[in-house]
Amino acid sequence: MNVEKGIKTSKKIPVYVLSGFLGSGKTTVLLHMLQYCKQQGWKPGIILNELGEANVESHLFENEKVYELLNGCICCTIQDDLKETMDDLISEIERQPIDVLFIEGTGVANPLEIQEVLLTSPYLDKFKLMSIITVIDASHYLEYQSVFSSSGEVRHLLKEQIVCGSLLVLNKTDIVPSEKLKKLRQKIMKIAGDNKMIMECAYGQVTPKILFEQRIQSILLDNRLPVEHAHHHHSGVKAIKLEDLPVLNQRKLEIWLKELPDSVLRGKGFIKLEGTNDLFSFQYAAKKMALAPVPPSLAREPVIILIGIGIEEIQIQQSYKKLITQ
């Protein structure tokens, strides 16, 4: 279909769901899609579903209308929370219409749960699910799938996200050797089936037309998986918030991160570093830290949120204490 024409003329608001494991690059892909919206003059609405009590990423969406669903998805309350957020959104868009809606699930969300909400009344009459875009971290997928280095829950979730995705984005190819990439593609195709489109990319740079393509037809919605399947509990998922952070030494921080248990899968937040007055956004995914200065006008308190499956809060707090007292 002609995507531009479809979005402009559609009576229902088109919805894109971004799914994918913790740190795979969902926000990166979303920012890329938002840039395209801007070029096309489309007004987007965004629903972010975050683990943990604080959203440390909303500053990335400066000029956009962002609805936050914090603490989501640890259990099935995601659906009630999402409905509440959608209700707010519906009343808000009567005053401020939007052309397209993005829903970014947490890294441990099963996209079917989101899909199911969109299929119930009154949302079904107002929104049209266009695509579930599943982002896969090419640099870590094989490790996450390995029986030795990850929990069964992680492996199950990764598979579900691939099966439910209508477009697969194999991200972070910049840090993966081509041989590994080939092997990876084969593995993913085995789970996804031959006719699902897999786009390889770095930093979410997939051609917008491919991202915005309608890939879910009503036929698929009618044949959706049974409800029991969609209600998958992620009881072992935990987000730990480290607050009142002092100014940190970068080298010690790197060592601390390296020594964290493997069950810590993701970190994000804001930190201050020795030798500079700047505030940095802190990202930790697939065992790699990325820091980026943020403007002081943001005025956020330093905080680190660690997310993992089966992480022991006491163990983390003890090692954190060591980091800040060394």
Ligand X SMILES: Nc1nc2c(ncn2[C@@H]2O[C@H](COP(=O)(O)OP(=O)(O)OP(=O)(O)O)[C@@H](O)[C@H]2O)c(=O)[nH]1
User: Among 127, 124, 111, which Cα is nearest to 165's?
Assistant: 111
172 binds ligand X per the rule CB under 6 A? yes
> If binding is defined by CB under 6 A, does position 72 make contact with ligand X?
no
Closest approach of Cβ 199 to ligand X, in Å?
A: 12
Kindly state the number of chain residues that form the binding site for ligand X, as judged by CB under 6 A.
21
In degrees, rounded to 5, the angle at the alpha carbon of residue 178 between the alpha carbons of residues 172 and 182 is 95
Write down the least CB distance from residue 290 to ligand X, Å. 4
Counting contacts by CB under 6 A, is residue 202 touching ligand X?
A: yes
Q: Which amino acid is at 153?
A: E
Hey, how many other C-beta atoms are within 10 angstroms of the C-beta on 3? 18
Q: Is the CB of 112 or the CB of 285 nearer to ligand X? A: 285
At closest approach, how far in Å is the CB of 285 from ligand X?
4
Among 3, 13, 17, 22, binds ligand X (CB under 6 A): 22
Stretch that binds ligand X, among 24-32, 185-193, 293-301, 313-321 (CB under 6 A): 24-32
x/- mask, ligand X, residues 103-132, rule CB under 6 A, reads ----x-------------------------
Can you tell me which of 203, 300, 310, 320 binds ligand X, judged by CB under 6 A?
203
Q: Is 27 in the site for ligand X (CB under 6 A)?
A: yes
Q: Which of 7, 14, 25, 305 binds ligand X (CB under 6 A)?
A: 25
Part of the chain binding ligand X (CB under 6 A), chosen from 121-129, 150-158, 171-179, 298-306: 171-179
Burial call 12-35: b when 16+ CB within 10 Å, e when fewer: ebbbbbbbbbbbbbbbbbbebbbe
Q: For ligand X, give the closer residue by CB, 163 or 202.
A: 202
Site for ligand X in 273-312 (CB under 6 A): 283, 285, 290
Residues in contact with ligand X by CB under 6 A are: 20, 22-28, 107, 171-172, 174-175, 202-204, 266, 268, 283, 285, 290
